[in-house]
Amino acid sequence: MRRKLAAGNWKMNGLSSSLTEIEALVKAHPDPDIDILICPPATLLSAAVVTAADHTLAIGGQDCHAHEDGAHTGDISAPMLKDAGASYVIVGHSERRTDHGETDDDVRGKARAAMAAGLTAVICIGETLEEREAANTLEIIAGQLAGSLPDIVTAVNMVIAYEPVWAIGTGKVPTLEQIGEVHDFIRTKLVARYGDGVGNSTRILYGGSVKPGNAAEIFAVSNVDGALVGGASLKAADFSPIIAALEAS
């Protein structure tokens, strides 16, 4: 059985006043039977860890450098995230791939660094609209999986997030059939590469315009083990019903 994961990615949003949203989440879900993760901006990471202390809500980073330390102004390493109390880090989000030119190779290096530091890497993949319209989705996904995932992983230190680029922040969501097709494909690839144990135990999240209104139907799709949520994770009032829908699924 894969433990479900509701992950919130705050992106470049959130000031100290936003910590009340984390307080509200831990109050609303004191004893969840799923994993809950919030990835706030780096400026709030330590404070978020303190706010969530003694609760089961995990805190994660949104990116990490592939090296442990060194002359990389503005970057944050995986050991630094770990030291600040994070347990997860998102790597290879499409906004990083687009805004910062990150390649599959870069993402694999970051994922390796995250795992070496004892973090769980949430590795993001997904096709653009052009790629989907050209019927290349599965080929793109296969390429990103082959290039972005490290060879040596465990069932707990890697999570895959399938996020169609055209669904992120747009309110557009693939059909349930389209989501199912890609998630089943990812599962098959994971089993082929890592074997039954790790392949079947690795969680696969869907991300892209998940809202309280569409969460339950998405969570009913096969091989959807949770969600990576952007906009709707910023407010506890929006994220909480998504968490509840995942718990009920």
Q: Measured at CB, which residue is nearest to ligand PGA?
A: 230
Which one, 179 or 210, has the nearer CB to ligand PGA?
210
Here the tokens at position 149 are 């995932």
Residue 40 burial (CB count, 10 A): 29
CA 221, CA 224: separation in Å to the nearest integer?
6
Instruction: Give the residues lining the site for ligand PGA (CB under 6 A).
Output: 9, 163, 168-169, 207-210, 228-232
Smallest distance from the beta carbon of 197 to ligand PGA, in angstroms?
28
- Residue whose C-alpha is closest to residue 10's, from 2, 21, 1: 21
Rounded Cα–Cα distance for residues 93 and 7 (Å): 13
Residue 239 and residue 25 in contact, taking contact as beta carbons nearer than 8 Å: yes
Q: 113 or 167, CB closer to ligand PGA? A: 167
| Complex with ligand PGA: residue 114 or 232, whichever CB lies closer | 232
Q: Extract the tokens encoding 177.
A: 């059939």
Catalytic residue among 21, 29, 65, 93: 93
In angstroms, give the least distance from the CB of 106 to ligand PGA.
Answer: 18
Minimum distance, C-beta of residue 32 to ligand PGA, in the bound complex (Å): 20
Verify whether residue 177 is a known catalytic residue.
no
Nearer to ligand PGA, 6 or 210 (CB): 210
Task: Enumerate the H helices of the chain as residue ranges.
Answer: 19-28, 45-52, 78-83, 94-99, 104-116, 129-133, 137-148, 176-201, 215-219, 236-248
User: Min. distance of Cβ 90 from ligand PGA in angstroms?
Assistant: 8
Single out the catalytic residue among 29, 163, 181, 183.
163
Question: CB of 197 within 8 A of CB of 209?
Answer: no
Is there a catalytic annotation at residue 163? Answer: yes
Catalytic residues: 93, 163
